[in-house]
Amino acid sequence: MRSPGWRTLGRRRVYRNPWMTVFEDRVRRPDGSAGTYGVVEVGDAVSIVALDRGRVCLVGQYRHSWGKRVWEVPCGGLHKGESPLKAARRELLEEAGMTARRWRGLGCVEANDPIVNRFRLFLATGLAFGRHQRDESEADMVHRMWSLSDFNRAVLNGRICDDMTIACVAKCLMVLGRRL
């Protein structure tokens, strides 16, 4: 919901690919001044916190925009007509080779403005480990189970920096009545 003082005067699509659309909005701010606001629409996605005996599954993959391997929870976009739970099951199997007996939806986590990306968060437990089914863009991906104490240390020392991962794990642990 936008502030009542903000008005969008126009929108121009600047760029589009299969993963995102970039818009440039002409806006009127609450003080009456005009401005330009960039918006990146990524679309709805799922994030999965897979927990097994006090360990959390993270996948590591090279992220071009950061120029390095990034550790993150399994996540991915919804396919057209796909339910969030079906997407979560698919992504966990695809990226980590895991299935889960129990799934719990934990609402949404939203990316920082101006990126419009809503992640439906799922907690997956009762894990069974198998073989991943990664697509060609995930060829360099690896997965690893992290103890929660190792996860905490990695967040504090900057080895894990992905904001969505930190937020998702923190929310899951809060729901479970546990601390990071």
Active centre residues (catalytic): 138
Cβ contacts of 163 within 8 Å, gap of 6 or more:
111, 112
Cα angle value 113/115/120 (rounded, 5°) = 100
Three-class secondary structure of residue 99 per DSSP: strand
Structure tokens at 169: 């794990």
φ, ψ for residue 112 (rounded to 5)? Answer: -65, 145
- Of 140, 137, 168, the closest CA to residue 18 belongs to 137
Q: Do residues 40 and 116 make contact, with C-beta atoms less than 8 angstroms apart?
A: yes
Structure tokens at 158: 């900057």
The full DSSP string for 33-66 is -EEEEEEEE---EEEEEEEETTEEEEEEEEETTT
